[in-house]
Amino acid sequence: MRLALLLAVALLPGCFVFVLPLEAPGGDAGITQPVTLADGGTGYVLPDGGVAQSLVEPVCQVSPLQTSAGTPVTFDGQSSQGSPGAEVVAWSWTFGDGASGQGALTSHAYADAGSFVATLTATDSVGQTGSISCSTVTVSP
């Protein structure tokens, strides 16, 4: 990530501004201090000026996406990323049928036919969380 250092030099009769590019160590220095959002939560100002509620990036992979009732489906959240300087330490899953699970890699067998969407919530070592809906699993009888 590249940052810019602004230097203002006062010369008569005016002021000139110089922009010097700097390389940020670690690549994440463009993320500013936390800010309080209108709903009372915490957000982070991103380099593009946007605000993110969480910098945790959960990733879920599901296999297989089509199965039959009683056959285990694998849910993998091992590629999830924590906020800058942190790592994901907890993975919580809801499988869309009322069941839930824990862990970076887990499996679940759906008892009934239907279409189900699992949700992964990843928590990092500084307490930040992020959630994602996984691909739909279609279960036949």
> What is the model's pLDDT at position 84?
83
41-45, 95-99, 118-122, 131-135: least confident range: 41-45
Q: What is the pLDDT of residue 43?
A: 65
pLDDT score recorded for residue 85: 85
Q: For position 133, what pLDDT does the model report?
A: 95
CATH 2.60.40.10 range(s) for the chain read 61-140
**In sequence order, what are the residues at sequence separation of 6 or more whose Cβ sits closer than 8 angstroms to the Cβ of residue 72?**
107, 108, 109
In tens, the pLDDT along 8-18 reads 333 334 433 33
State residue 102's pLDDT score.
98
Say if residue 20's pLDDT is above 60: no
CATH superfamily entry for domain 61-140 = Immunoglobulins (2.60.40.10)
Cβ neighbors of 120 (< 8 A, separation 6 or more) are 58, 60, 75, 77, 80, 91, 92, 93, 131, 132, 134
User: What pLDDT is recorded for position 68?
Assistant: 98
* pLDDT tens per residue, range 23-77: 334 444 455 556 666 666 556 666 676 766 668 999 999 999 999 999 999 999 9
Q: Tell the residue number behind the tokens 């489906």, with chain if given.
A: 73
Q: What percent of the chain is predicted at pLDDT more than 90?
A: 55
Q: Residue 99 — very low, low, confident or very high, per pLDDT cuts 50/70/90?
A: very high
